[in-house]
Structure 1
Amino acid sequence: MKYLPVENNLFTINRKNFVSRLKSASLAIFYANDEYPRSGDQTFIFKQNPDFFYLSGIDQEQSILLLFPDCPNSVYKEVLFLRQTNEHIAVWEGHKYTKEEARLASGIQSIYWLSEYDNILHSIINYANNIYINTNENDRYAHTVPYRDIRMLADLRSKYPLHNYERSALIMRDLRVVKSQTEIDLTKKACAITNDAFRRVLKFTKPGVTEYEIEAEIIHEFVRQRATGHAYNPIIASGKNAIVLHYIDNNQVCNDGDVILFDFGAEYANYNADMSRSIPVNGRFTKRQRDVYDAVLRVMRAATKMLVEGTVWNEYHDEVGKVMTGELIGLGLLTKHDVEKQDPKMPAYKKYFMHGTSHHLGLDVHDFASRYKPFEVGNILTCEPGIYIPAEGLGIRLENNILITKDGNIDLMADIPLEAEHIEEIMNS
């Protein structure tokens, strides 16, 4: 890992909170992510299962975590299994956790090699009535690939068909959405690195540079500061590319007079930042570009004020839609007649602002959370309104990351340039 060690108290507390919600006589099993094939004999860079990391702090493939608080053998109340290294692995792949390193990283005392997993599991599983299995229940995920959790569930059912199987996801959805101070600090670190990358880009951008050159500047700053890399595929969308919401080709020249829409964020210790900005290639907005920019900024500020404890997801987005509608009328993109005759299921503003305003942020960029539960203290959400005008080849999106506290909210990206004048000042300094 590039990032500095994370205090294991975070993971110890997370496990305590998780097991406190288990039914009695329950065993929970968590698996590290698959090593996904890329092509030939290559695999993609390993990315840990966020739930596994949340409970263990272990960032290594093939690992397994058992949590059995009512286990009659106290040694096996929480057990971590690791891939045992050898001379061949050390030569070809490098360092793997030692048992002592894993204890320091996770706070778990009972560490075993994977070769001992089957025997230890079989020695305790029949003292459990319930087996909790973790699956990906993120609303945005559609299951098409039999990932490791699914395969292991099938194997367990075949060996232990009479146990009652439960879903860990119901617990994880409530736990992960409320961030501890350590998680907030890690997110702040990801935001700070993102800030430095954006400022670097502001000084680098000029007519004639390419989107991929800008992308290179971003990853340079990320890796230089120990970030794992991008939190998601970065969007460097100049000119008309900005009206494509998930544009990631990043292969065009940035032309004088155009605006570039950025959407990128650093990943640090598996926690993510998610930022959007829009800047003029030549360092000066035209009047029309500035009018649209300021409209988006006003919507962003109005929406940010709504991100407080108790806010309800659908009501929030409806209210933001009303604010956006007023701005679009002011820009001449909608008329009051358009609004009067609109289909309530597809409001008129959706023609120019077709995505949601916010999503939860954490170990996943679109973090695991209930869309039906009011916002809580400790939630981190994005705030990202945008206006996209195909006829003008112009797209503007602005996005910051907002922490909800008992006293309101805190903008974790308050230090990142946002005002149009500030952006122009830095670009022309």
Structure 2
Amino acid sequence: MKYQNIENKLFINHRKNFNKHLKNNSLAILNSNDEFPRSGDQNFLFKQNCDLFYLSGIDQEDTVLLLYPDCPNPLYREVLFLRQTNEHIKVWEGHKYTKAMAESASGIKNIYWIADFDNILHSIITYAEHIYLNTNENDNKAYTVAYRDIRFIGEMKAKYPLHHYERAAPIMRQLRETKSEGEVQLVQKACDITRDAFIRVLKFTKPEVTEYEIEAEIIHEFIRQQATGHAYPPIIASGNNANILHYGDNNQICKDNEVILMDFGAEYANYNADLSRTIPVNGKFTPRQKSVYKAVQHVLQESIKLMKPGILGSDYNQQTGELMTEQLVGLKLISMEEVKNQNPGYPAYKKYFMHGISHHLGLDVHDFANRYIPFQEGNLLTCEPGIYIPAEGFGIRLENNIVLTADGNIDLMANTPIEAEEIEEIMNSSTL
């Protein structure tokens, strides 16, 4: 890992909170992610299972966490199983956790090699009544690949068919949507690195640079500051490319008088930032670009004020849609007549602002949360309004990351340049 060591108190507390949600005499097992094959003898870059990391802090393949708070043998109430390293692995792959290192990272004292898992599990599972297993329960996407958790469920039910099996995912959803102070600090670090990358881009950008050169500046700053890399594939969308919401080619030349919509974020210690900014290629917005920019910024500022504990996400989107409607009328993109006659299921503003304004953020960029539960204290949310005008060849999106607290919202990107005049000043007064 490139990032600094994390105090294991964070993961100890996460396990305590998880255990409180288990039924009496329950055993829970969580697996690391697969190493997915790429081609030939290569794998894709390993990314840890977010739930396993949340409960253990272990960032390594072939890892299993077993939690059995009521186990009659105290040795097996909290157990971590690791891939055993050897001289061959040391030479070819380098660092792997020793037992002492894993104990320091996780706060778990009972650590065994993965080869011991089956025997230890078999020695205690007959005493447990319920078995909690994990899956990726995401209502935005259905996965067709039989990943490790799915295969493990089949193996467990074949070996131990008469146990009561339970879902760990609802517990993880409830826990992960409320961020602890330690988690917020890690996201703040990711946001700070993202800010520095954005400032680097402001100092670098000029007419005739390519989108991929800007992407290169971003990853340079990320890696320089110990981020793992991109939190998600970056969007560097100049000109009309900004009207493709998930544009990712990043291969065009940035032309004079265009604007560039950028959506990127650093991943630090598996926690993610998610930033959107739009800048003028030549360092100066045109009057029309600036008027649209100011409209989006107004919606952002007012939407952050509306983002409060107790409001449902659907109601929040409706209220921010009303803010956007007002701005689009002012820009003469829609008329009051269109608003009056709009289809409630597809309001007039959706022609120019077609996506939702917010999502949860954390270990996943679109983090684990229940969309039918109101926002609450400790939620970490994005706020990302945009206006997209294909007929005029540009789009504007702005996005910050917000923590909800009892004392008001905390903007983790408050120190990232956003005022149009500040962006112009940096672009025209500095060089890389």
Smaller-chain TM-score range?
Answer: over 0.9
Report the equivalent of 1:126: 126
Report the equivalent of 1:254: 254
Q: Secondary structure at the match of 2:55?
A: helix
1:374 is displaced (CA, Å) by: 1.0
Output one character per residue of 1:61-119: Cα deviation in whole Å (capped at 9) or x when no partner.
01000000000000000100000011111111111000000000000000000110000
Is it true that 1:315 corresponds to 2:289 in the alignment?
no
Map 1:136-285 → 2, pairs under 5 A: 136-285=136-285
Over the residues paired in the alignment, what is the CA RMSD in angstroms? 0.6
Map 1:311-350 → 2, pairs under 5 A: 311-350=311-350
Output one character per residue of 1:315-353: Cα deviation in whole Å (capped at 9) or x when no partner.
100000011011111111101111122111111111110
How far, CA to CA, are the matches of 1:114 and 1:18 in structure 2? Answer: 23
Moved over 3 A (4+): none
Is it true that 1:98 corresponds to 2:98 in the alignment?
yes
How far, CA to CA, are the matches of 1:319 and 1:16 in structure 2? Answer: 38
Report the equivalent of 2:116: 116
How far, CA to CA, are the matches of 1:175 and 1:415 in structure 2? Answer: 29
Q: Secondary structure at the match of 1:260?
A: strand
Judge conservation of contact 1:138–1:369 (CA < 8 Å) in 2: no
Output one character per residue of 1:281-310: Cα deviation in whole Å (capped at 9) or x when no partner.
000000110010000001111110011111
Is it true that 1:366 corresponds to 2:366 in the alignment?
yes
Report the equivalent of 1:87: 87
Map 1:375-414 → 2, pairs under 5 A: 375-414=375-414
| Stretches of structure 1 lacking an aligned partner (at least 5 in a row) | none
Q: Secondary structure at the match of 1:172?
A: helix
Report the equivalent of 2:33: 33
Output one character per residue of 1:96-150: Cα deviation in whole Å (capped at 9) or x when no partner.
0000000000000000001100000000111111110111012222121111000
How far, CA to CA, are the matches of 1:347 and 1:39 in structure 2? Answer: 46
Report the equivalent of 2:419: 419
Output one character per residue of 1:370-429: Cα deviation in whole Å (capped at 9) or x when no partner.
111111111110000000001111110000000101011011000000010000000001
How far, CA to CA, are the matches of 1:345 and 1:309 in structure 2? Answer: 26
How far, CA to CA, are the matches of 2:86 and 2:188 in structure 1? Answer: 38
State the one-letter code of the partner of 2:103: R
Report the equivalent of 2:428: 428
How far, CA to CA, are the matches of 2:370 and 2:419 in structure 1? Answer: 33
Aligned identity (percent) is: 68
State the one-letter code of the partner of 1:200: R
Judge conservation of contact 1:190–1:267 (CA < 8 Å) in 2: yes
How far, CA to CA, are the matches of 1:98 and 1:19 in structure 2? Answer: 26
State the one-letter code of the partner of 2:302: A
How far, CA to CA, are the matches of 2:275 and 2:163 in structure 1? Answer: 45
Of stretches 138-147 and 17-26 in structure 1, the one that deviates more from structure 2 is: 138-147
TM-score by length of 2: 0.99
| Stretches of structure 2 lacking an aligned partner (at least 5 in a row) | none
How far, CA to CA, are the matches of 1:234 and 1:3 in structure 2? Answer: 21
TM-score by length of 1: 0.99
1:39 is displaced (CA, Å) by: 1.1
Judge conservation of contact 1:309–1:408 (CA < 8 Å) in 2: no
State the one-letter code of the partner of 1:165: Y
Q: What is the number of equivalent residue pairs in this alignment?
A: 429
State the one-letter code of the partner of 1:10: L
